[in-house]
Structure 1
Amino acid sequence: MTFNGGDAIFSIVFLIFIFGIFSGVFFLVWSLLTKKPSKSDRIEQKFDRIIVLLDKDKKE
């Protein structure tokens, strides 16, 4: 059984391809699980807080 350079190159490329697929899936799942609130959600929360404070100030 002989092992030539083409087989070695194919094996390396295939392993890199498989590693790329697994790392891509890993980072996709990781980014979905550690999703940060969007900028518009944070702005909305700040406006809600301002409205609550203004209502509280009006009542006093």
Structure 2
Amino acid sequence: MNIGDVLFQLIMFLLLIGLFSVAFVILCSGLKRNSTNKTIELEKKLDRIIELLEKEKS
């Protein structure tokens, strides 16, 4: 094999790994952002329930 062929295959392999890495990072960040929004909504609902329970006790 020629050194140029080896170099080309190495570059393509690294490019392929980079492509999958970028896709993985984008997916993970999207899931994390969605999870954060759900957590905030859940906290608001729990705060509302606590307020209602405190009013009920008074």
TM-score category (smaller protein): 0.5 to 0.7
Structure 2 Cα separation of the partners of residues 18 and 37 of structure 1? 31
Taking only the aligned residue pairs, the percentage that are identical comes to: 27
Residue 26 (1) aligns with residue 24 (2): yes
Residue 12 (1) aligns with residue 10 (2): yes
How far the C-alpha of 1:37 sits from its partner, in A, is 4.6
Structure 1 Cα separation of the partners of residues 23 and 2 of structure 2? 32
Q: Size of the alignment, in residue pairs?
A: 55
Q: RMSD in angstroms over aligned alpha carbons?
A: 2.8
Structure 2: segments with no counterpart, 5+ residues: 41-58
Considering fraction of residues, name the structure with more helix: 2
Structure 1: segments with no counterpart, 5+ residues: 42-60
Q: Tell me which structure has the larger Cα radius of gyration.
A: 1
TM-score by length of 1: 0.55
Q: Which runs of 4+ in 1 moved over 2 A?
A: 35-38
